[in-house]
């Protein structure tokens, strides 16, 4: 699950968005309860310009994330609320 998320992030950085979206969505289908897959879906929605959906997914991720991750996720939520693509 973590490896798939990291791979999806790498694909986005390399501008292979469609392939990254497939990885994130497949990860979410396999592990719908995991907080990290919601962060991945938020990245998909962010790249698509669907910021309201991205905020919702990132807030779900924030609820389940380990405490050390929460400040970083909070920053991502704020960027999404400002309609900023978090993949850049």
C-alpha distances (whole Å) from 59 to each of 38, 39, 55, 72 are: 8, 9, 6, 12
- The pLDDT of residue 32 is 95
Q: Region of 34 please: left (phi>0), alpha (psi -120 to 50) or beta.
A: beta
- The pLDDT of residue 88 is 87
Q: Provide the whole-model pTM.
A: 0.94
Domain extents in the chain = 2-81
Q: 55-73 pLDDT, tens per residue? A: 999 999 999 999 999 999 9
Q: What would the mean pLDDT of 41-68 be, rounded to a whole number?
A: 97
What is the percent of the chain with per-residue pLDDT over 70, rounded to a whole number? 100
Whether residue 5 has pLDDT greater than 90:
yes
Query: Domain spanning 2-81: which CATH class is it, in words?
Result: mainly alpha
């Amino acid at each position: 699950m973590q490896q798939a998320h990291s791979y999806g992030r790498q694909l986005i950085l390399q501008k292979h968005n469609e392939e990254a979206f497939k990885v994130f969505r497949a990860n979410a289908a396999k592990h719908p309860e995991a907080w990290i897959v919601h962060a991945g879906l938020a990245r998909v929605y962010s790249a698509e310009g669907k910021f309201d959906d991205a905020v919702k997914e990132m807030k779900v991720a924030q609820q389940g994330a380990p405490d050390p991750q929460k400040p970083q996720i909070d920053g991502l939520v704020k960027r999404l609320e400002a309609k900023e693509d978090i993949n850049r």
